[in-house]
Structure 1
Amino acid sequence: MEKARKITPKVMVSRNTLLIFGIIFVAFNLRPSITSVGPLISFIKEDTGMSNSAAGFITTLPLLAFAFLSPLAPRLSQKIGKELTVLIALVFLGIGLFIRSSGMLFTLFLGTGIIGLGVAICNVILPGIVKQSFPTKVGLMTGMYTVSMGTMAGIAPGISVPLAETLHLGWQGSLRVWMILIIPALFIWLVQSKRKEKIPGQYFQVTPAHSSLLSSGLAWQVTLFMGLQSTIYFCFITWLPEMLYSHGVHISTAGWMVSILQFSGIPANFIIPILADRVPNQKGIVIAIGALCMSGLIGLLVGGNLVLLCLSIISIGLGTGAAISLALTLMVLRAANAKQAANLSAMSQSIGYFLAALGPILLGFIYDVFHSWTIALFLLMVLTIIMTVAGIGAGRNQYVLEEKRGAIHTL
């Protein structure tokens, strides 16, 4: 009989290193396919003749996929394993990128939907993988993959227009470029998927406890914070170039402004999860996030000159960068175990992204009707206030479902 291979500390370090790189490369692929679209919307509209509301749907469609497909990710992972699940998700992402860039209106939306499927699965699985594989380094690992996600999310909008115009790739070729990032990620997760490791405690199993999260006020607060911060973020990713264009900023410069927004959030991407993991509760962090977003929105509303617009965008970038990192961290911190983290991740991303999906369409509709971004900015201010209130509740030092076993902590 063949002897079982002994897993030495050296082997474990090697496996963890490969897993870390795998997480980073997945994170690289989670946002460029979405953030690269905003600066190209004017080209797409001119080529296809679509309205602002329809153009907003290009960004919204992946969010709808996140909303409806996120609950399926834990079930799929339970059946075939988390590594193979991530690998399949990356394949779908690559297929979606190829189909979307074919140039036809139908394939533009079809490919975008398939992209949403791939990203949705990865969105849900990653927080659970961190909880399972790095339980003592939740903040560090969450910071690492949100920085990776934010870096590529920032590069994409900045180079979208130059790729389309300077390199003469058109909007189709500019969107197709991001298939390059899929290749190393596929290789790493192909290696990961060949491992036949037993997942302790049926890690991704969805039990009746998942449905009971719907009765947890804390779970709903985490979900609402996740959804509203995503709404604000994706509204800016979609419409910030058009907002700035209305202020007289050239569309190419406006694309780089979206990159500034993304890059401004990178320090917060890394620092906030580590800080959130160390403090007793996260209420103060939430209040700071709300203040940053609100001050940036006021700056955009006032307008004026390019310096003020840049400062406003940096403020929003810091706020939204901190918000997504905190939202992902709360999914882990508010869960008592890895299985609960997967279920909370599925709930908060499913319902949260459904809320976020309404934002870009609604803002596009408002602009179509009023031909001004003022009402849209006021709406985002209201959403920022609600997000802050929900985040203060989500920042309590408590596990979901703990309300039923003990007294609810006061705010």
Structure 2
Amino acid sequence: MSFLHSSRIVNKALLVLGILLIAISLRSPITGVGPLLDAIRAELHLSATQAGMLTTLPLLAFAFFSPVASKLGGKLGLEQALMLSLLFVASGLCVRSFGSSSTLFLGTIIIGAGIAFANVLLPSLIKRDFPTQITTITSIYVLMMGAGSAISASLAIPLTGFAERLSINVIPSWAVALASLVVFPIIAMLVWLPQLKNHTAPSKDTLQLESHSYLWRNCSAWQITLFLALNSFLMYIFISWLPTILLDKGYSHHQAGVIHGVLQLFTAVPALVLIPFMERIKDKRLLSLALTLMAFVGIIGLLLIPSQAMIWGMLFGFGAGGGFIVALALISLRTSSAYQAATLSGMAQFLGYLVAATGPMIMGEIHEQTGSWQLPLMICAVCSLFWGGFAWLAAKDEVITSGRKPLSLTASESLL
């Protein structure tokens, strides 16, 4: 019995480690591009709109592939589908680093497809295997996403300099920095291998034939979707353009890269703060609203007092990162089965990332037309107020059902 108990503990530990390593691979391939945008644009002669597409294309891929992900998980099983997502990310990172504009965009699309699968399926996996620890596991894996983002953003410029010192001429130095990120999905795949023999069949909930199409007519589902959409809209604008904004405001490339990395790191800090409290907070409306207000203050601060960009980056990162944690947790907490969670996750991420995909392009185009980042930042500030409204509505203490009246969490089977 003790051997079996020890074996279960080891398997559970490997599962958690695998989830965390997958999480590191989900945002680092995107955030590593921001500090290198100027070098990429100069090398490949890209316009501001084309440069914005490097962040937009993964989001479009998220939107396009997210509805497919829950079906893929149902057909292959969650573990196999997540391994496939890592293969996509790794291969996309390689293709993106060949050094031409065509492979740059093609690799970015492949990366986006792989991330989309994992984005949708991880909440379902967590709901199935950690039903009493949903918010804790979600917070930890968002922490790892933020850590991976901070590492990739902070090391992008130093790795480029390292490639130049080594006189690597096969591919551009910025491509070497981007290619180095492949280490994350490769390690994740190695750790995930043991999971392929466990739970090879999808869970009973995942095999259900019900389409949950009623979610598209459910107000609560739309509120959660718009909460995630505006969160992602603002987050990817800053992921894409913050280094360029800071350069325009007088910061050096190194300073801009560091501040960008700190913002990414602070998207992970809420996970550390929220882990002890999330499961105890039944009504998450005040928490959600407070996080959106922090992001609003960060945007206004960058607009009015750019000399304190480090502080504003911390505030925005904390608010956006915390909001993302709450949005992902709500997908699990406000659904009644693993399959419903995967379906809502697919809906929220399809529409959410479709909205988010417009952000970098729109703000890049407005900047080109006005020659200033003031108007784009003002628009972001207004959007953050709408984000706060949907945060309040989305964080209600109710479970989504197929009926007209949602079921209160206090009267339903506990999900925490």
TM range (shorter): over 0.9
Tell me the secondary structure at the aligned position of residue 35 of structure 2: helix
Q: Distance in 1 between matches of 2:73 and 2:406?
A: 32
Q: What code does the residue aligned with 2:250 have?
A: G
Matching of residue 162 in structure 1 with residue 158 in structure 2: yes
Q: What code does the residue aligned with 1:188 have?
A: V
Number of the residue aligned with 2:194? 191
Matching of residue 106 in structure 1 with residue 109 in structure 2: no
Matching of residue 248 in structure 1 with residue 250 in structure 2: yes
User: Structure 1 residue 394: deviation in Å?
Assistant: 0.5
User: Structure 1 residue 205: deviation in Å?
Assistant: 4.4
Tell me the secondary structure at the aligned position of residue 29 of structure 1: helix
User: Structure 1 residue 266: deviation in Å?
Assistant: 2.0
Q: Distance in 2 between matches of 1:274 and 1:215?
A: 35
Number of the residue aligned with 1:386? 386
Q: What code does the residue aligned with 2:69 have?
A: A
Q: Report the RMSD for the aligned CA atoms in angstroms.
A: 2.0
Indicate if the aligned counterparts of 1:245 and 1:251 stay in contact, CA closer than 8 A.
yes
After TM superposition, list the pairs within 5 Å mapping 1:314-325 onto structure 2: 314-325=314-325
Indicate if the aligned counterparts of 1:229 and 1:320 stay in contact, CA closer than 8 A.
yes
User: Structure 1 residue 89: deviation in Å?
Assistant: 1.0
Tell me the secondary structure at the aligned position of residue 399 of structure 2: coil
User: Structure 1 residue 403: deviation in Å?
Assistant: 6.2
Number of the residue aligned with 1:341? 341
Number of the residue aligned with 1:203? 206
- Per-residue CA deviation, residues 340-377 of structure 1 (Å, 9 max, x unaligned), is 11111111111111111010010111111111001100
Indicate if the aligned counterparts of 1:143 and 1:271 stay in contact, CA closer than 8 A.
no
Indicate if the aligned counterparts of 1:293 and 1:316 stay in contact, CA closer than 8 A.
yes
Number of the residue aligned with 1:115? 111
User: Structure 1 residue 265: deviation in Å?
Assistant: 2.6
User: Structure 1 residue 166: deviation in Å?
Assistant: 3.8
After TM superposition, list the pairs within 5 Å mapping 1:57-76 onto structure 2: 57-76=53-72
Q: TM-score, normalised by structure 1?
A: 0.94
**CA 1:110 to 1:172, structure 2 compared with 1: closer, same or farther past 3 Å?**
same
**CA 1:332 to 1:116, structure 2 compared with 1: closer, same or farther past 3 Å?**
same
Number of the residue aligned with 1:144? 140
User: Structure 1 residue 196: deviation in Å?
Assistant: 5.3
Number of the residue aligned with 2:90? 94
**Which 5+ residue runs of structure 2 have no aligned equivalent?**
410-416
Name which of structure 1's ranges 394-403 and 130-139 shifts more when overlaid on structure 2: 394-403
Q: What code does the residue aligned with 1:66 have?
A: F
User: Structure 1 residue 65: deviation in Å?
Assistant: 0.5
Q: Distance in 2 between matches of 1:34 and 1:52?
A: 17
Number of the residue aligned with 1:171? 174
After TM superposition, list the pairs within 5 Å mapping 1:280-299 onto structure 2: 280-299=282-301
**CA 1:391 to 1:373, structure 2 compared with 1: closer, same or farther past 3 Å?**
same
Indicate if the aligned counterparts of 2:146 and 2:266 stay in contact, CA closer than 8 A.
no
Runs of 4+ aligned structure 1 residues displaced above 4 Å come to 406-409
Indicate if the aligned counterparts of 1:219 and 1:400 stay in contact, CA closer than 8 A.
yes
Q: What code does the residue aligned with 2:148 have?
A: M
User: Structure 1 residue 10: deviation in Å?
Assistant: 2.8
Q: What code does the residue aligned with 1:239 have?
A: W
Tell me the secondary structure at the aligned position of residue 270 of structure 1: helix
Number of the residue aligned with 2:130? 134
Q: What code does the residue aligned with 2:35 have?
A: P
Indicate if the aligned counterparts of 2:88 and 2:114 stay in contact, CA closer than 8 A.
yes
User: Structure 1 residue 165: deviation in Å?
Assistant: 2.1
User: Structure 1 residue 333: deviation in Å?
Assistant: 1.0
Q: Distance in 1 between matches of 2:309 and 2:394?
A: 31
Tell me the secondary structure at the aligned position of residue 405 of structure 1: coil
- Per-residue CA deviation, residues 240-298 of structure 1 (Å, 9 max, x unaligned), is 00110011000121011111111223220233365333212111012111210111111
Q: Distance in 2 between matches of 1:113 and 1:264?
A: 27
Number of the residue aligned with 2:7? 11
Q: What code does the residue aligned with 2:67 have?
A: P
Matching of residue 182 in structure 1 with residue 203 in structure 2: no
Indicate if the aligned counterparts of 1:265 and 1:319 stay in contact, CA closer than 8 A.
yes
- Per-residue CA deviation, residues 328-348 of structure 1 (Å, 9 max, x unaligned), is 111111111222111111111
1:279 to 269, 281, 289: 281
Q: Distance in 2 between matches of 1:304 and 1:46?
A: 26
Q: What code does the residue aligned with 2:296 have?
A: M
Q: What code does the residue aligned with 1:280 have?
A: K
Number of the residue aligned with 1:213? 215
Q: Distance in 1 between matches of 2:221 and 2:187?
A: 35
**CA 1:273 to 1:105, structure 2 compared with 1: closer, same or farther past 3 Å?**
same
User: Structure 1 residue 167: deviation in Å?
Assistant: 3.5
Q: What code does the residue aligned with 1:8 have?
A: L
Aligned residues: 402
Identical aligned residues as a percent = 33
1:29 to 18, 25, 29: 25
Number of the residue aligned with 2:413? none
Q: What code does the residue aligned with 2:111 have?
A: I
User: Structure 1 residue 79: deviation in Å?
Assistant: 1.1
Q: Distance in 2 between matches of 1:123 and 1:275?
A: 24
